[in-house]
Amino acid sequence: MSTSQSEFATVRSIYSDFVEYQNLDKEDGAEPVDGTIYAIDTNVLLNLYKYSRKNADEMIGALTKMSNVLFVPHQTLHEFWSRLEDVRKGDHHGEAAGKVGAASAEVKRTVETWLSRTGLSRATVDAASNIQDSLKEMLNATARLQDIINETQQESAKGSSGIIDALENILRGRVGPTPDPETRQQLLEVFRRRVADGIPPGNRDAELKNGKTDKAAGDFLIWRQCLDEARRRKEKEGRAFDLTLITNDLKDDWVRDKSGPRPLAHRLLLREYAEQVGGVFRIATFLNLLDTASDHFGATVSEEARAQVQEVNRTDVAGWTADSASVYLKILWNGYKDQLAVLLASYCVARDEAPPLTMDEARKISGRDHMAGFARPFKTVLTTDRFLAADEAEITIPMLSREFDEELNDYVYKLQGDPISALGEAIASDADFEAKLIDISQQIETIREGR
């Protein structure tokens, strides 16, 4: 090598040790078809059950066009199967039924208050009678609407079975390997060290879950499995691939900027991928992926389907916040201690991915012999002035509900509306809630050990 060539080979730039600031993820890769791995996060698969069947078919068609470049980490499928049954029931159906019922009840209260204050119910019997008849008609219409929503939910659950078959065809041969127990334990130890050092992804989840790192490691396991796949492809084909993670969960430990048309990855992840693989790491939403499928893979996606993706993403983001969850807990603390205990117990088992809280366990946790009407305050809290002032998302579904679990053949208490992260943050910010949670967690452990 000549002197000039040697000097050129060692020339350093401002990005030599700081590749993460080169912002390479702002642009599409040069080889979106042959040089990029598209890794699928759990929420992308689960959201297929939240679209109309027509739109879901279009999206499945787009995924089919891209099947050769897709990759699904093992952790993605672990989370998918564990959450599928709840998603299949259709939270949006329950939310619609709840909002219809709440709106009807509010109209009834408003009219009856107006009648009482104006004295119309005493002064004009005929007018008052007509109003009461109209209210009855409204309540009957509300009941019919709720029946239609419930029937639609049942039909939707039946029709969604084809999605699994389609995913099996698309993803066969593109699923990451099962980590053996020893490797998993080693990875969890690595994750604990990363959490201590503030290295993403997943470190914020661990903070929200009070140090339960084993349960908070999902994002990190997805990341490591993606890195393993990228390294495997590089070794097999002799070149570095770019990696694009497709997710709608744009948390701060994944992204540095989500204000533009496409999110930008956390800089530490850009650096880690460049060092480990040699390519560029990017993050994209499912809507971004549909654009890629249309632009480079010949897929056809209608504006109606795109609009529904945006709507589902919007409603997934809107919901429980740390502030609203904190107010909810404080209202229960001040007036419904038994319900608070059962709510915290249900949070414990949901957070730890354990079986749901049974009716018998709820009796023992609450100290009650009878549970008639026990769940009513979970709905009542939503109508208090204090909660309404903190409820930016206009939540109408109570945080906890009782339902029959066919697998357990028993009634169980389950969280609704995916409040786990918000609850974790609310509990972590209040010493009284933290102490209560520790006590409840110990009670559950004692109850289940004594079975």
Instruction: DSSP for 365-395, please give it.
Output: HHT-S--TTTTHHHHHGGGSHHHHHH-TT--
Most distant CA atoms of the chain, gap in Å: 107
Q: State the sign of the Cα–Cα–Cα–Cα dihedral 51, 392, 343, 201.
A: positive
Most confident of 8-12, 98-102, 160-164, 251-255: 251-255
Whole-number pLDDT of residue 97: 65
The residue-averaged pLDDT of 96-121 equals 71
Q: Give the tens place of pLDDT for each residue, 295-312.
A: 999 999 999 999 999 888
Examine the pLDDT at 122 and tell me if it is beyond 60.
no
4: pLDDT confidence band, cut at 50, 70 and 90? Answer: very low
Give the pair of three-digit tokens for residue 126.
């005929």
Is residue 217 scored above 60 in pLDDT?
yes
Residue 118 corresponds to which amino acid? T
At residue 153, the pLDDT reads 64
Which residue stretches of 47-73 are H helix?
53-65
Q: Which residue has the tokens 């009716």?
A: 359
- The tokens for 236 are 């097999």
Q: Phi/psi class of residue 321: alpha, beta or left (left: φ > 0; alpha: ψ in -120 to 50)? A: beta
Task: With a cut of 60, say whether residue 211 has pLDDT above it.
Answer: no
Within 238-378, strands assigned E span 242-246, 255-257, 264-265, 281-284, 357-358
Question: What six digits make up the tokens of 374?
Answer: 């026990």
Residue 241 phi, psi (nearest 5): -100, 145
Ramachandran quadrant class, 319 (left: phi over 0; alpha: psi -120 to 50; beta: rest): left
C-beta neighbour count of 279 within 10 angstroms: 22
The answer to whether the beta carbons of residues 248 and 43 sit under 8 Å apart is yes
CA angle 256, 426, 433 (to 5 degrees): 150
> What pLDDT is attached to residue 393?
59
Which CATH number does the domain 322-449 belong to among 3.40.50, 1.10.10, 1.20.140, 1.10.1790?
1.10.10
Higher pLDDT, 30 or 356: 356
Structural domain boundaries in the chain = 28-88+173-315, 91-161, 322-449
Enter the pTM of the model.
Answer: 0.66
Q: How far apart are CA 161 and CA 371, in angstroms?
A: 36
Distance CA 293, CA 305 (A): 13
Q: State the pLDDT confidence band at 227, using cuts at 50, 70 and 90.
A: very high
Give the helix/strand (H/E) hosting 414.
strand 410-415
pLDDT: which is higher, 386 or 319: 386
In angstroms, the CA 63 to CA 47 distance is 13
More confident residue, 336 or 116: 336
| CB neighbours of residue 117 within 10 Å | 9
Provide the pLDDT confidence category of residue 139 given band limits of 50, 70 and 90: confident
Helix axes 218-237, 267-276, angle to 10 degrees: 30
**pLDDT at residue 176 greater than cutoff 60:** yes
- What contacts 373, CB < 8 A, 6 or more positions away? none
| Mean pLDDT of all residues in 242-261 | 90
375 pLDDT higher than 80: yes
pLDDT at 294 over 90: yes
Between 324 and 234, the more confident residue is 234
Strands 264-265 and 255-257: antiparallel
pLDDT higher than 80, residue 69? yes
Q: Inform me whether the pLDDT recorded for 224 exceeds 60.
A: yes
Q: Which has more pLDDT, 363 or 118? A: 363
Nearest residue to 278 via CA among 214, 235, 323: 235
Comparing 119-123, 241-245, 401-405, the range with the smallest average pLDDT is 119-123
State which amino acid sits at residue 332. Answer: L
Q: Using CA atoms, how far apart are residues 316 and 310, in angstroms rounded to an integer?
A: 10
Report residue 6's pLDDT band, with 50, 70 and 90 as the boundaries: very low
pLDDT at 94: 61
> What backbone torsions phi and psi does residue 410 show, to the nearest 5 degrees?
-160, 160
Long-range contacts, stretch 448-451, CB < 8 angstroms, 24+ apart: 448/361
How does the average pLDDT of the chain come out, rounded? 85
pLDDT at position 3 is: 42
User: Which position has the token pair 């609310």?
Assistant: 426
Q: What are the backbone angles phi and psi of residue 191, rounded to the nearest 5°?
A: -60, -40
The answer, yes or no, to whether residue 234 has pLDDT greater than 90, is yes
Output the pLDDT for position 92.
58
When pLDDT is averaged across residues 162-174 and rounded to a whole number, the result is 94
